[in-house]
Amino acid sequence: MLKLKTEDGVIRYEKGYEEFARWLGVQGIENVISNTCDVEDKWIRGRVKLLKTEFGEFLLKEKRSSLFRSSILKEFQNGILLKESGVAVLSIVVCVSSKKYKRDYGFLPYISGSLSGLHIIKNLLWNGFSDSLRKRVVWTVADIVARMHTAGFVHGDLNPSNLLIYGLNDRNLKVYLLDFGGVRKSSSLFARVKDLARLWRSAKEVVSERDGFRFLRRYLSIVRGDIRDYIYAVERRLRKIRKR
């Protein structure tokens, strides 16, 4: 993490974004904010804004500075940790802590043409997908969740709106995790299952049980044995209940 001190506060940024960070420092955060626009996508939840610059398009997230769990700064730091562990995340690359406005601002590269998982589910796109596309999406999501868990992190707010999906129509399907202000280090089985349950709860209205099991099977093939035994037990139990 690199740092730039300005009159108003601190700009933290990742390698590769020094020019953008310097530019932010010169413009002043107030001017930059007033140049953002709304994202034209009714499926985007949350108060994000779009900033178009010569360095590319960025999504802006803004929150009151806080020492509590889900701050912008936490999300920025967690993004670095997750990336270092090889988890595909779309993270804040520049973070501005403004003393004057008592706020933190985070900028992340905007992926145009991507869809959030929420979009896919609420817009009922899921039902229109072919079985093989559904399988590919489910597997890709299971991979990324499993990779995060085996790297020793839990998300804390894993739900479809915090998954960004790109390249649905080509071979190169990509899924990114978003919004990890609440990510923490934990290898607790309970915390992991909570992540999975939260994701399932928000998807199960639309996603079939078959796809749910596909997810589990793929997830379990990646995570370590301890949780695998646990979830196999749950799976067996569910089957028994359903047979009754």
Rounded Cα–Cα distance for residues 219 and 116 (Å) = 20
Residue 6 beta carbon to Mg ion: minimum distance, rounded to whole angstroms: 28
Told to check if 4 binds ligand ADP by CB under 6 A, we report no
Spatial CA neighbour of 12 closest among 22, 2, 24: 2
Instruction: In angstroms, give the least distance from the CB of 108 to ligand ADP.
Output: 5
Nearer to Mg ion, 78 or 161 (CB): 161
The window from 127-135, 158-166, 186-194, 234-242 that contacts ligand ADP (CB under 6 A) reads 158-166
Is the CB of 73 or the CB of 90 nearer to ligand ADP?
90
Cβ neighbours, 10 Å, residue 213:
14
Minimum distance of Mg ion from residue 198's CB (angstroms): 12
**Looking at 72, 73, 87, 90, which residue binds ligand ADP (CB under 6 A)?**
90
- As a residue count, the chain comes to 244
Burial 121-131 (b: 16+ CB within 10 A, else e): bbeeebeeeee
Strands (E) in the chain, as ranges, are 2-5, 9-13, 37-38, 49-53, 56-64, 94-98, 103-109, 115-116, 153-154, 163-166, 174-177, 184-185
Number of residues that bind ligand ADP (CB under 6 A): 20
Q: Is 71 in the site for ligand ADP (CB under 6 A)?
A: no
Q: Does 99 bind ligand ADP (CB under 6 A)?
A: no
Q: Which does 53 bind (CB under 5 to 8 A by kind): ligand ADP, Mg ion, none?
A: none
Other beta carbons within 10 angstroms of residue 27's beta carbon come to: 13
Distance between CA atoms of residues 69 and 118, nearest Å: 24
Binding track, positions 112-151, relative to ligand ADP; x by CB under 6 A = --x-x-x---------------------------------
Contacts with ligand ADP, residue ranges (CB under 6 A): 44-48, 59, 61, 90, 108-111, 114, 116, 118, 161-162, 164, 178-179
